[in-house]
Chains A and B, each alone.
Chain A
């Protein structure tokens, strides 16, 4: 099957500030990628690049063969950058009905009067209200959610993935991210390291402790071109690692 999302030698910079470079990966339909990294590593920038809100300094992104800004006009794409991106003076119920037309809440108060977690949940439910998503990009989606809402989110992401959506999700909450993704992209010190679930954990079931261990190792390693992986599993045919 052709990859749905292809990222090749991607680099991002703001003015003279190099955010990251040489980020490459491919995702097929129904695969999920977790993006992990310290603050300022470029997670939000990478996600905004994927949906065409920002242009890369170098490299290319293709969603079903098209550059992102073109692809978002013909493929159903969902992107949520967090509750702080919701406009304050909008009625919650009206915002909730924007994506699908069906209200996701009956709350009539303005968004600015809602709690942070409620705004986050509303923003997520609005995005998930779109029935058929080709690409779903979520930036720190578990932030501010209570345990029930966090469980709902994990289940909803799995459901979208199982329906064929390609998922890219960033998070600092490694215990929520663990086990959800097929691969994890670690951003640190302007570089990216991609590890598959089976490389992080021999069983293929990644735990928060596994992610924390890799994250700590990469974060401390200034020049981490090579990474010792936990798995000794043979590489999959047709698959090469940098």
Chain B
């Protein structure tokens, strides 16, 4: 072990600035940590165009349910589609470019940073969803609230967990792109899959085919109540989605973040 001696000359010079107990310094006058909430408000996780899109879809949704509160399902579908992209904010790519260095070395635990990252990624879509739901409640005088039915909530939770987790190691928006491409592939390329999904959509499918339907097309849950017969399949999808979300958090907490040049 090599210990660096304090040169007497340097020590004298430093003493002239006043003696300093570093332990006292770090415990009593410690520099305030960088707050993840504040950091991610400055370093926005969302593209401004995506936020604008969500705002427009939200306003259109509120107008739609105001004109006819039975149309709530059609108002919520585009919100869920944009939420797929909004929560796909990505972590590893900006982190490896060093964009989060100040935060990651700034005094907060990785777990707190990651949970804040997820919460803020989800927030805009959830806010628009709630706004449309509240508008629906108000217009229908408390009778209809499709946004807050169990199926709708499950769809929003599933998209908010899975798309975010998928994008953690990928560039921004990747989770949404992967999900949409998978949906298109499922209905256009594999006829066996398509038939199984159609059967599941009619309510004839097995537990697995129903679960696949809800996973690939969470839109099918919007405006529905989860019936007892669907509880196992919806539960399976939600548990799988939340497991993926937890795995993504665990991965970030432990991940090494070497520096990579931006391309």
Query: Which residues of A are interface residues toward B (Cβ below 8 A)?
Result: 3-4, 6, 8, 14, 24-31, 33, 44-45, 48, 51-55, 64, 69, 72-82, 84-87, 89-91, 94-95, 98-101, 126-127, 130-134, 137, 161-166, 182-183, 194, 196-198, 204, 236, 238-242
Contact B42 A132 (CB under 8 A): no
Contact B3 A44 (CB under 8 A): no
Cβ–Cβ < 8 Å partners of B256 in chain A = 53-55
A239 to B6, CA, bound (A): 11
Among B31-54, those with CB < 8 Å from A are 31-34, 38-39, 42-44
A14 to B7, CA, bound (A): 37
Contact B1 A8 (CB under 8 A): yes
> Nearest-CB distance from B65 to chain A (Å)?
34
Which residue in B4, B17, B38, B102 is a CB contact (below 8 Å) of A183? Answer: B4
A26 to B94, CA, bound (A): 32
Q: A85-B98, A162-B14, A164-B22 are in contact. Are A76 and B107 (CB under 8 A)?
A: yes
Contact B2 A85 (CB under 8 A): no
Cβ–Cβ < 8 Å partners of B9 in chain A = 204
A127's closest neighbor in chain B, by CB? Answer: B102
Q: Which DSSP category, helix, strand, loop or mixed, fits chain A's interface?
A: loop
Cβ–Cβ < 8 Å partners of A51 in chain B = 104-105
What 1/0 mask marks residues of chain B from 1 to 24 whose CB sits below 8 Å from any chain A CB? 111111101100110010011110
A91 to B42, CA, bound (A): 8
A80 to B7, CA, bound (A): 27
Contact B102 A132 (CB under 8 A): no
> Nearest-CB distance from A139 to chain B (Å)?
8
Cβ–Cβ < 8 Å partners of B182 in chain A = none
